[in-house]
Amino acid sequence: MTTNEAMIGRADVDVGVGDGQDGVDVVHAVRQNSDAIFTWDYERSRPALAKLYEKAKVSQWNANDLPWDIEVDEVAVAAANRVQNDGIYGQLDLRGTPVESWTEDDWVQFNVESQNWTLSQFMHGEQGALICTAQIVETVPWIDAKYYAATQVMDEARHVEVFARYLDEKLSGHYPINAHLKMLLDEIIADDRWDMTYLGMQIMVEGLALASFGFLHQMTTEPLLKQLLRYVMSDEARHVAFGVLSLQEYYEQLTAAEIRERQEFAFEAAVRMRDRFLSQEVWERMGVDVKEMVQVTLGAPDRPIFQGMLFSKIVPNCKKLGLLDAADGWLRHRFEDLGVIQFEDWVDTSEEYASLDVVDPDRVGV
């Protein structure tokens, strides 16, 4: 069995239960220390960002035009998804674990809760992106970047809207934000350097989200969710490309010490995001021992494959930015330890975003 230290980069699993549970304050404040930057230079000097901006303007879609009249039976969907996607627990010997006596109904309910939890974390992450992108509009010094970031603010508002509506109208409610995701969002928002907002949100959080949406899009049997995810993915690809195109230019100006600091931030963000996919809050709601089930999850043979795929967008984008091999390959070695370096030569998002656009003439909202 893979050790905890090898899996998460430290000796013990921080299960994160108790922070972000029921009863958490509805309003959460994070102090920002960044300056709002005006630029009086309106020259359109960055053609790649200008192209992305034009693409964003014609790719807007209306959440109200999704087929919300589709009936969703969340129990039936969970059962169908369980048949189609046996999941990591279907291949484990669960004798001696807290779930050894679970019935099929218990596992279906677990899948119901897991979908509520997963989509809730997507929703919370999208609100984080909404706030971060509004911050980028204020802090980035280039007019082309301000123009594009303004379109992303609209995208992110739409994403929060559709996930919240799906959870409210089609499923059975929200989960609070996962502790690991909350800590990462707080750190990104509090940093006063605009490029760290880019790195944390556009490259790391949005990159993982793009891969996660693609995974769920393939896995789900529910047609409304499948269509919703497809449209969100088309936006997310542009968002990640925005980060790559902006940071590639900026990082060429940084010192070795500054690059190393960004490598360390990227690694810590990767660890935190991976930790949040352990379904701690679901196990707690199902009434089983959370720490024990986290250990069971970490020992699942297929988990490294699923976990690795989440970073299929992040690793090539970090390579494109020069973060993998700077400082004697510090981040490369960390990604090797995480078991995700095999994605380094996959296409980076600045090259693939157009292929993920929704080009159907009957596109939603157009």
pLDDT at 34: 87
- Under the banding of pLDDT at 50, 70 and 90, the label for residue 2 is very low
Mean pLDDT over 130-153 rounds to: 97
Does pLDDT of 356 surpass 60? yes
Q: Distance of CA 51 to CAs 46, 143, 300, Å?
A: 9, 13, 44
Greater pLDDT, 43 or 88? 43
Question: Does the pLDDT value for residue 350 go beyond 80?
Answer: no
Q: What's the mean per-residue pLDDT of the chain?
A: 86
- The SS3 of residue 310 is coil
Q: Is the pLDDT of residue 89 over 80?
A: no
**Taking residues 271-291, what's their average pLDDT?**
88
Q: Do 110 and 286 contact (CB within 8 A), yes or no?
A: yes
Confidence label for 1 from pLDDT (cuts 50, 70 and 90):
very low
Residue-by-residue DSSP string for 34-52: PPP----------HHHHHH
Q: How confident is the model at residue 204 (pLDDT cuts 50, 70, 90)?
A: very high
Tokens (6 digits) for 181: 């995701």
19 vs 172, which has greater pLDDT? 172
pLDDT-based confidence at 366, cuts 50/70/90?
Answer: very low
Of 97, 12, 117, 115, residue with least CA distance to 288:
97
CB 37 within 8 A of CB 139: yes
Cβ atoms of residues 79 and 175 within 8 Å: no
Lowest mean pLDDT among 5-9, 26-30, 112-116, 351-355: 5-9
Structural tokens at position 192: 């006063």
Average pLDDT over residues 256-263: 95
Rounded Cα distance, 239 and 279, in Å: 27
Residue 264 DSSP class: H
Average the pLDDT over 266-283 and give the result: 86
Q: Could you give the CA distance from residue 30 to residue 187 in angstroms, rounded to a whole number?
A: 9
Q: Looking at 276-325, list the stretches that DSSP marks H as alpha helix, in order from N- to C-terminal side.
A: 280-285, 290-298, 303-309, 314-320
Return d(Cα 204, Cα 197) in angstroms, integer: 10
Tokens 């760290």 sit at which residue?
196
Domains of the chain by residue range: 95-356
Answer whether 77's CB lies under 8 Å from 71's CB: no
Among 21-30, 256-265, 313-322, the least confident range: 21-30
| Lowest mean per-residue pLDDT among 5-19, 191-205, 318-332 | 5-19
In contact, 221 and 131? CB cutoff 8 Å = no
Contacts 24+ apart (CB under 8 A), 70-77: 70/223, 70/224, 72/170, 72/171, 72/222, 72/224, 72/225, 74/112, 74/115, 74/170, 74/171, 74/172, 75/108, 75/112, 77/115, 77/220, 77/221, 77/222
Per the listing, tokens 């690059």 go with 259
- Supply the pLDDT for residue 346: 86
pLDDT value at position 224?
98
Tell me which residue has tokens 């720490």.
Answer: 291
Nearest CA to 188 among 277, 275, 278, 262? Answer: 262
pLDDT at 278: 82
Q: CA–CA separation, 283 vs 296, rounded Å?
A: 12
Say yes or no to pLDDT of 122 above 70: yes
- Name the percent of the chain lying above pLDDT 70: 85
Give yes or no for residue 305 having a pLDDT over 80: no
Q: What is the pLDDT of residue 302?
A: 67
Residue type, 137: V
Do the beta carbons of residue 251 and residue 322 sit within 8 Å?
yes
pLDDT at 106: 93
Q: Region 86-110: what's the mean pLDDT?
A: 83
Tell the CATH topology of 95-356. Ferritin (1.20.1260)
pLDDT at 85: 62
Identify whether the C-beta of residue 226 lies closer than 8 Å to the C-beta of residue 253: no
pLDDT digits (tens, 9 = 90+) for 20-78: 444 457 889 998 888 999 999 999 999 999 999 999 999 999 999 999 999 999 999 99
